[in-house]
Amino acid sequence: YAARAAGSQLMIYTPELDERADAAARLGADLRHSLDDGDFRVVYQPIVDLRTTRIRAVEALVRWHHPVRGFVSPVDFIPIAEDNGLIVELGEFVMRTACHKFAGWRALGPDAPDYVSVNVSARQLSEPGFPAVVAGILDECGLAPAELLVEVTETALFGGGTAVHAVETLHAAGVRIALDDFGTGHSSLGLLRTVPVDVLKVDKSFVDEITAGGERAVIADALIRVSNGLRLRAVAEGVETAEQAAYLRELGYEYAQGYYFGKPVPDPDFSPLTTAKI
């Protein structure tokens, strides 16, 4: 308190911080139980081609049905699972579930989506056996490596080390790599020279600017140019309106994802062959 009252940036100790740490520890323990009890599910959101309106890919997102609290957002529990290491087991569950489900959809024929996107955290990438685990799952499911896109954040790769090495190993094996929430993390552009990347997922905040007025879409425009220049695919995230979709198409975006096209849904509700509304 004294430090804060003095206007210092240093927060040494507050009761609120302590409470937050307690809550995180409780949630961390609950994560362990829920992993054993099967309280996690995977939901799927379509990624569409803005020109043809077809679903070209699907992103897998984890959901926790907490026995007491009900829905808990991944934004709240993923960081805790990263801290206590349970993200390794949880992440493998998501990867295996998503790849098996996608293999079934892929078998529907040539109109089926081309790849499944799975989010992977820094902690998973730092596990020495991670690329081998991924290879094993692809093998189990009969998926080609290029049918999997691993989504990592810039921040996870900041500082290099084992995480970058894992990305290189996966990429060399044919798995494709996306930078998620692109433009919001550390060292955005420099990373593109040092890490093998196939896809840029342009963060929702830049899509929102399109309809926010003022300097409309300056960054969305810059990022599609960077993407084209480096021969990467850009995917616009968080598209919520027809106006945003139309503007992104004008800017040259090929792929997009967002509530406008479809919210994340459990697998029985996901229809991989439908045409999205545009």
Choose from Mg ion, ligand C2E, none: what does 121 bind? Cβ within 5-8 Å by kind. ligand C2E
Amino acid (1-letter code) at residue 255: Y
Closer of 12 and 265 to ligand C2E (Cβ): 265
152: contact with ligand C2E by CB under 6 A = no
Q: Which of residues 27, 31, 55, 78 is near ligand C2E by CB under 6 A?
A: 78
- State the residue for tokens 């003022």: 214
133: contact with ligand C2E by CB under 6 A = no
Closer of 13 and 74 to ligand C2E (Cβ): 74
91: contact with ligand C2E by CB under 6 A = yes
- Report the distance separating Cα 127 and Cα 162, nearest Å: 8
Q: Collapse the DSSP code of 256 into the 3-class scheme (helix H, G, I; strand E, B; otherwise coil) and give the result.
A: strand
Q: How many CB atoms lie within 10 A of CB 41?
A: 15
127: contact with ligand C2E by CB under 6 A = no
| Distance set, CA 38 to CA 33, 42, 46, 278 (Å) | 9, 11, 25, 36
Q: Which of residues 75, 107, 231, 268 is near ligand C2E by CB under 6 A?
A: 75
Choose from Mg ion, ligand C2E, none: what does 94 bind? Cβ within 5-8 Å by kind. ligand C2E
154: contact with Mg ion by CB under 5 A = no
Instruction: Report yes or no: 236 and 202 within 8 Å, Cβ to Cβ.
Output: yes
183: contact with ligand C2E by CB under 6 A = no
Q: Collapse the DSSP code of 224 into the 3-class scheme (helix H, G, I; strand E, B; otherwise coil) and give the result.
A: helix
Instruction: Report yes or no: 243 and 256 within 8 Å, Cβ to Cβ.
Output: no
- Report the distance separating Cα 177 and Cα 199, nearest Å: 6
| Range 237-256, binding ligand C2E (CB under 6 A) | 238-240
- What does the block give as tokens for 144? 């080609």
Q: How far is the CB of 120 from ligand C2E (least distance, A)?
A: 6
Collect all residues with Cβ–Cβ distance below 8 Å to 124 and sequence separation of at least 6: 87, 88, 91, 92, 130
Q: How far is the CB of 142 from ligand C2E (least distance, A)?
A: 22
264: contact with ligand C2E by CB under 6 A = yes
48: contact with ligand C2E by CB under 6 A = no
* Contacts to ligand C2E by CB under 6 A: 45, 61-62, 73-75, 78, 91, 94, 119-121, 151, 180-181, 238-240, 257-259, 264
